[in-house]
Structure 1
Amino acid sequence: MKKGWKYLIGIVVVVVIVIAGYFSFGDKSQAKEKTITVGVVAPADKDTHVWDAVKKEAKDKYGLTVKLKEFSDWNQPNKAVANGELDVNSFQTKEFLDDWNKAHDNTLTSVGQTIIAPLRLYSKKVDSVADIKNGATITIANDAVNESRGLKLLQNAGLIKLKSDDSLATTKDIAENPKNLKIKEVDGSQTARALSSEDASVVNGGFAVSGNIPLKYTLYKEKLDKNSKPYINVLAVSKKKKDSQAFKNLVKAYQSKSVKKEIKKQYNSLIIPGWDLDLD
């Protein structure tokens, strides 16, 4: 009888340990799933306010904790996601992501759209495009995607003419340059600072915000139409994790009415919500 009781007690102890271990492991996995880290590039105070709205929406509606990891330039966040050091990043256009994947033989994937930041041509030295002098220097971003986008902006402003609009353009594709402009390529993060030394600069909306560039220095603004779709920013993740519920909830949180309202409040027209634009 005693042996039977000991045997039964032994079985109960084993079962309890197994169950406790299962739920302990499950709780940790669930906790990890409910906390994600988003990589962002050089966020300004306005960006932080928008992400605070995202965090609140994610936490209140989906029980998802969102943390931010800051990077200083565009070169690092994709590598961090690809290496598994980061869950998701939010800093780039779909076109930039596609170009990075091609250059690095990778498959990072967009799980949702965020904002669009129209390019603007700014100057502190002249008041209009027509006032730009012969031989003037204009800075543009030096990465392939934003260099092409900047050159197309200059073309639409009537300053240069490109050989073709069909592919990523470089300065070698300039067919006509009637004012003999000097196109200076710099890191995207330096385009706002270049306004202090150069005649004009093409600046992305994000860097215009972080650089506190007043709208009064705008000479020309990028038009939004069907050709602007590749310029909408995205949330990028590893392809193998794209179906994670945490990422789906992050997208829903970002694309909420409260976040849309905060974007409009913080950025005015420098940056606008990109997920529900009618660009057709």
Structure 2
Amino acid sequence: MSAKILKTAALTLPLTLLLSACATGAPAPGGSGNADAAPETVKIGVVGAGDPYWKTYVDAAADAGITVDLVDFSEYTQPNPALSAGELDLNQFQHIIYLATYNVQAGDDLVPIGSTAIYPLGLYSQKYDSVADIPAGETVAVPNDESNQARGLLVLQSAGLVKLKDGGSTLSTVADVLDGSKVKVEAMDAAFTATSLPDVAAAIINNDFVKDAGLSFDDAIATDDPSDPSAFPYINIFAARAEDADNPTYAKLVEIYQNTQAVLDGADEASGGTAEFVKTPAADLVTSLHDVEADIRDNQ
């Protein structure tokens, strides 16, 4: 399946919000090094390393002379602290809003160094074939992390299941669900929304957990639109420690992901054909991150 490319020019950040190949003999990751030094292994934290495209990516990096060690995590809460602690060199699992939320809460300064894709967020049900079939008063599950919770609530609002205070935003929580909404909303760990399906009317399930739950992306009864300009803060990213933002080896790894068609095709297949790939300048990603961080602080 051919990967779809969403041109960066079509994206405009409403929140007041590639890198060139590394030169031969670039410094080893995390240090100045010298032109003759062998590159160190680069540890990249991901969620869902079992997806076949990651092996394709590791092989493509090896062809470019870079050894990649994928470190798999089962929960979204793990890769950022591991990166900050130096247990990883990079991670690639999150969008800008998730990173901004983590940075503000942890007092950290991790930064995006490259973009991958935007993925739609879906609502799934084992009991009902459409949103219209969900009776009033039923319960719907959403992820409990702030960024995906807000995005999930916006999906529910667009589907007519809830009404949110002030029309909702990227900072909405279940506390913003207004009385008179059609359904009740329960927040839980993103890894468990899929397993909650037998007990709730429907659940917002992050893409990483859809296939593990035996579901297809086509089973979603509602999704958001990743091509909407307001989706910019949901661009998924490679993240690094601030001091490594300009590391040329890491920049090369971003470029390999973005420009290796077999990787893009595999990532698109893993997403059920829903991925919208983007090549967004790192400076724009950082601007978006800082703007979202400022919004979060202003609303604390």
**TM-score when normalising by structure 2:** 0.76
User: 46, 50, 53: which is aligned to 2:53?
Assistant: 50
Counterparts of 1:92 and 1:252 in 2: how far apart (Å)? 18
Counterparts of 2:156 and 2:142 in 1: how far apart (Å)? 10
Alignment of 1:149-188 (within 5 A): 149-164=151-166, 165-179=168-182, 181-188=183-190
1:243 and 2:246 are equivalent in the alignment: yes
User: 76, 79, 82: which is aligned to 1:77?
Assistant: 79
Counterparts of 2:49 and 2:139 in 1: how far apart (Å)? 27
The equivalent of 2:235 in structure 1 is 232
User: 262, 275, 281: which is aligned to 1:258?
Assistant: 262
RMSD of aligned Cα (Å):
2.2
Alignment of 1:187-226 (within 5 A): 187-224=189-226, 225-226=228-229
CA contact (8 A) 1:141 1:188 kept: yes
Unaligned runs of 5+ in 1: 1-25
| TM-aligned CA distance change 1:28 to 1:85, over 3 Å | farther
1:88 and 2:90 are equivalent in the alignment: yes
SS in 2 for 1:110: strand
| TM-aligned CA distance change 1:82 to 1:174, over 3 Å | same
Matching residue's letter, 2:127 = K
User: 102, 105, 108: which is aligned to 2:104?
Assistant: 102
Deviations 1:144-183 (A, max 9, x none): 111111111100111111123345001121235442x221
1:36 and 2:48 are equivalent in the alignment: no
CA contact (8 A) 2:49 2:72 kept: no
Counterparts of 1:73 and 1:220 in 2: how far apart (Å)? 24
Matching residue's letter, 1:269 = G
SS in 1 for 2:178: strand
Q: State the shift of 1:268 in Å.
A: 2.5
Q: State the shift of 1:30 in Å.
A: 3.0
CA contact (8 A) 1:111 1:235 kept: yes
Counterparts of 1:216 and 1:125 in 2: how far apart (Å)? 16
With 256-265 and 192-201 compared, the bigger mean Cα shift is at: 256-265
Counterparts of 1:117 and 1:89 in 2: how far apart (Å)? 17
| TM-aligned CA distance change 1:44 to 1:182, over 3 Å | farther
With 68-77 and 140-149 compared, the bigger mean Cα shift is at: 68-77
The equivalent of 2:271 in structure 1 is 267
Q: Which structure features the higher share of strand residues? A: 1
With 110-119 and 132-141 compared, the bigger mean Cα shift is at: 110-119
Counterparts of 1:177 and 1:237 in 2: how far apart (Å)? 43
CA contact (8 A) 1:108 1:239 kept: yes
SS in 1 for 2:114: strand
Considering only CA atoms, is the larger Rg found in Structure 1 or Structure 2? 1
Deviations 1:7-49 (A, max 9, x none): xxxxxxxxxxxxxxxxxxx689933x442011112x164x2x1
Unaligned runs of 5+ in 2: 1-32, 281-300
Q: Considering Cα pairs closer than 8 Å and 6+ residues apart, tell me whether 1 or 2 has the greater RCO.
A: 2
Q: State the shift of 1:122 in Å.
A: 0.6
| TM-aligned CA distance change 1:125 to 1:148, over 3 Å | same
Counterparts of 1:193 and 1:200 in 2: how far apart (Å)? 11
CA contact (8 A) 1:44 1:209 kept: no
Q: Which structure features the higher share of helix residues? A: 1
Counterparts of 2:238 and 2:218 in 1: how far apart (Å)? 31
| TM-aligned CA distance change 1:78 to 1:174, over 3 Å | same
**TM-score when normalising by structure 1:** 0.81
| TM-aligned CA distance change 1:216 to 1:108, over 3 Å | closer
| TM-aligned CA distance change 1:29 to 1:146, over 3 Å | farther
CA contact (8 A) 2:147 2:170 kept: no
